[in-house]
Amino acid sequence: MLRLESIEYVERPGTPLRWQIEGLVLGGVNLIVGKNASGKSRTLSLVTGLGNMLCGASKMVYDDGRFSAVLNDGSVKTEYVLRYKQIKIIEETLTIDGKRMLTRGPGGVGKIYMTQEKKLVSFQTPDNELAVVARRDSVQNQFFEPLNEWGEGVILFEFGKTMGHTSALVKDEVSGTVNVKKTAEAFLEVYEAGVREFGSRYTKAIVKDMECLGYNIQSMNVGVPDMKAKDKVPFPFRVMKVRETELRAPIDHLLLSQGMFRALSLVVQVNYDLLSKKASCIVVDDVGEGLDYERSAHMVELLRSKAEKAEVQLIMATNDRYIMNGVPLDMWSVISREGWRCRVYNKGNARKAFEEFKSTGMSNFDFLAFDYYSKKA
């Protein structure tokens, strides 16, 4: 499975609205840190936005910019470049292990490698569509498949938002497969799909993970909200009913504390994504937001463990000092913003700073707070 190795992006170059990120090199488990308004969330949206475009889940949504991404499966290096202006593609190239497989320019005209003929041939694709999606062909262009599959498996969780806390499920609306690219508001749909496809293996994994986070859950199921059940009024909506070990009766997920619900929603969805093998890259913004120190630390460790075991890439972002102190610096990517330019510091391009800081005796958070990464780079 492909893994994102690096990505650079520039938006609206040559204008007052220019924004650029450079130097973002990623490993298996990553923690993106930075001061407020440094570009953490925007960077994560770029990763997920590229993934959505590469699998066809979304059309061109940016009006002027350039992506340059390198992906690797451990043996094969894939380089992808996409340039567009006024929502029209003016450059798209795909290079695999140094061999150009796709190139196109303005007007959608270009050349593509045809597997059976073993040569490049001319083609034209609408200039508002990615050729790696529009020309997907398991016979002639099967080399697009890994890129498409990677994009399909990039899944974003915005932990600092509601994560579906106020959502409910319309009765009998779930059937067939689940689109994991949906927002976290669909956590009930994901839960029912998990129960249907994996049964007790899935629910036991949720209970075990919640226990690791300090929440003791005895059982859970989807049912009618208590307020309507008591009135004996037909109600087309269903909610998750969670039974905590210390309580005598289950309560609706709508009544759970914000922190507990966010943790439950993330655990429900991540377990499904991993069991169904639909995830290639799990992206979590504001990881641990709203949790106390102990639980936020356990959340990060839980995600790390699950990602490493499943060999899935994990990209997290935070500005929480307690989480920073609990994640090794080797997994850090520090974003420093100067105007429109966001530069990323990591153990690769600022090795001296990272290595020297380990002997200072200071906390990891101080590495960011005192700009140590740039002073010694």
pLDDT of residue 229: 46
pLDDT of residue 235: 58
pLDDT of residue 224: 83
pLDDT of residue 343: 96
pLDDT digits (tens, 9 = 90+) for 20-73: 999 999 999 999 999 999 999 999 999 999 999 999 988 876 689 999 999 999
pLDDT of residue 232: 47
pLDDT digits (tens, 9 = 90+) for 251-289: 999 999 999 999 999 999 999 999 999 899 999 999 999
User: Could you give the residue ranges of the DSSP H alpha helices within the chain?
Assistant: 40-54, 131-134, 145-152, 187-198, 200-212, 226-231, 258-275, 293-310, 321-326, 351-357, 364-369, 372-375
Q: How far is CA 166 from CA 51, 211, 253, 265, in A?
A: 27, 23, 8, 12
pLDDT of residue 98: 96
Low-confidence ranges of the chain (pLDDT < 70): 61-62, 170-184, 227-236, 376-377
